[in-house]
Amino acid sequence: MRTQVGIIGAGPAGLLLSHLLHLRGIESVVLESRSREQIESTIRAGVLEQGTMDLLTDAGVGARMKAEGALHHGFELAFEGKRRRIDLTGLTGHSITVYAQHEVIKDLVAARVAAGAALRFNVSDTSLRGLDTETPSIRYRHEGEEHELQCDFVIGCDGSQGVSRASIPHALRKDYERVYPFGWFGILCEGPPSSDELIYARHDRGFALVSTRSAHVQRMYFQCDPKDSVDNWSDDRIWAELHARVDSHDGQKIVDGKIFQKNIVGMRSFVSATMQHGRLFLAGDAAHIVPPTGAKGMNLAVADVRVLTRALDAFYVENRSDLLDSYSETALKRVWRAEHFSYWMTSMMHRIEGASPFEQQLQVAELEYVTTSRAAATAMAENYVGVAPV
């Protein structure tokens, strides 16, 4: 089989890239190791920046996002028993939408299927060949048979454990990583929202986040030991911990509900400063990971795709390769900006093991500053909605 662009991974980055290329008349094939059911049912939170919302709408896949997503014009920071609001729209003129990542994937899969796209699910034994030539190929097994996909370019959107980044010679890669000594304990529960907007809470016991999935389902997290087990946490213990960290002195309380899902996720920051090698280009989690505190993961993937789409379009329509040649340099400017913001939010909001009382008070002082200084609040809001300069 031959195509123009071979895409590995049917996450938001791979599917959106395939759809945007289709709208420009550029052929692609998407290969995914999981089933369609798996990628559409793996529940992951999603906070969409203004630019992400706009791109999905312009691409014709934003109707359900607008109908079912929760448009937020701000969020609250809770600390020292009080809550203060960051007015995103008032400070920047932009907003965010809370819309789960797997819902974005459903919309994109539906759009690709409707367009007759070549989507291959349940692919295995994927390997890359000829990346430093003009005729790279992807070998894989599908439905019990060996296949080879010849293409002009290979785009790796297969996450941190995929074959794409590993196919770049180690001597040519420059990777940066920070593993955090804490994780997030996440729950899904039935019940009404505790707040109209997201609540980020800093407490001496640790961080907590209150988010809304729908009018009847809520998503909440609290900082925990990443090696802990969900079996150690009864529902009563979970609610007691969340109330201790989030409830305010003036009587504002989160709403309990029936918990129907529990999980623990680790946290790390990672950047591959080599996002391209020959005819291979990395996008999304294959190239970078951010802690979820700054809500940047899917938005960074979309930003990569925007740059790649423009570069591939210039190659095929204008016979230009300069935008492809500078892809890493262009994408990494925004990646490092988002990495810094996510690291800053994480460091300010989480309990740092071994931190002295002095260092803990510095966290409080910074929260006081960003919630009382318009300049500081604007900087936070610009980074959060994705309009900060790079």
Specify the pLDDT at position 360: 95
Choosing from 136, 221, 292, 327, which is the catalytic residue? 292
- Tokens 């790079």 label which residue? 390
Specify the pLDDT at position 389: 60
Give the separation between CA 176 and CA 239, rounded to whole angstroms: 37
In Å, the largest CA–CA distance within the chain is: 65
Angle at 175 (CA atoms; ends 174, 180), nearest 5 degrees: 160
Specify the pLDDT at position 293: 94
* CATH architecture of the region 5-71+95-176+269-344: 3-Layer(bba) Sandwich (3.50)
Third-level CATH fold of 180-265+352-385? D-Amino Acid Oxidase; Chain A, domain 2 (3.30.9)
Specify the pLDDT at position 213: 80
Q: What is the DSSP string of 308-356?
A: HHHHHHHHHHH---HHHHTHHHHHHHHHHHHHHHHHHHHHHHSPPTT--
Give the separation between CA 6 and CA 138, rounded to whole angstroms: 8
Specify the pLDDT at position 46: 86
Give catalytic status of residue 292 as yes or no.
yes
- Report domain extents, the chain: 5-71+95-176+269-344, 180-265+352-385
Give catalytic status of residue 169 as yes or no.
no
Averages of pLDDT over runs of 10 residues in the chain (390 residues) are: 96 97 97 94 85 95 94 96 97 94 95 94 96 96 95 96 95 95 96 94 97 87 97 97 95 94 95 96 97 94 97 97 97 97 97 94 98 98 84
Give catalytic status of residue 66 as yes or no.
no
Choosing from 99, 140, 200, 327, which is the catalytic residue? 200
Choosing from 94, 203, 277, 296, which is the catalytic residue? 296
Choosing from 99, 140, 180, 384, which is the catalytic residue? 384
Contacts of 233 (CB under 8 A, 6+ apart): 185, 262
Choosing from 12, 19, 72, 221, which is the catalytic residue? 72
What single letter denotes the amino acid at residue 378?
T
Give catalytic status of residue 296 as yes or no.
yes
Give catalytic status of residue 106 as yes or no.
no
Specify the pLDDT at position 390: 56
Phi, psi of 238 (to 5 degrees): -60, -50
